[in-house]
Amino acid sequence: MRGLHADTGYLLYRLGLRSGQLFNTFLQESGLRLRHYAVLRFLAGSEGSLQRELSTRLGYDPSAIVGLVDDLEKLGFAERRPSPDDRRSRIVVLTETGRGFLRDTDEAGQRVTNELLGPLDPAERATLHALLLRAADRP
C-alpha cells in the first residue's frame, strides 16, 4: 500500500484544508468565510455576474450562492442589480465597500499565502501556481 504522502491528490487535499483553515482564521474577525471571499474575488474581476454563473465558476451549489450573496448584501459588499441584457434576471456586483474590504485584506491574504507556501522559493511558487492553473482550467 502506498503511503498517503505518495498520493498527489491527498497532498492537494491536505494543502486545501490548511489553506481554508488559514484563510478562515484571517477572515473570522469580519464574519466572513473563505466561500464569501471567493465570491468577492470573482466579482472583483468582472462587471457583475448572474448567480448561476457564480455557482458554475466557483463550483458551489446554487442554493449556497444565494446565501453567500445574501450575506454579502447585508454587509454592503455586494448587491443584486437588474441585468442589462434581461430585466427578469439580476446580476451580482461588487460595491465600493466590497472593493475596499478586498484592498484592506490584500496584505493579510498575502501573509496567509506566505505561511502556506513558506517552504517554497519564489520560482517554485511561480511554477506551482502555473501548474495549478493548468490543472484547474479543466472542466
Rounded to whole angstroms, the Cα distance separating 100 from 94 reads 10
Whether the per-residue pLDDT at 1 is higher than 70: the answer is: no
The SS3 call for residue 1 is: coil
CB 77 within 8 A of CB 97: yes
Question: Which residues, 6 or more positions from 72, have their beta carbon under 8 angstroms from its beta carbon?
Answer: 36, 39, 40, 78, 92, 98
27-74 pLDDT per residue, tens:
888 889 999 999 999 999 998 999 999 999 999 999 999 999 999 999
Rounded to whole angstroms, the Cα distance separating 113 from 4 reads 24
91-115 pLDDT per residue, tens:
999 999 999 999 988 888 888 899 9
Cβ neighbours around 3 below 10 Å, total = 7
Place of cell 489553506: 19
Return the pLDDT at 102.
94
Task: Tell whether pTM > 0.75.
Answer: yes
| pLDDT band at residue 2 under the 50/70/90 scheme | low
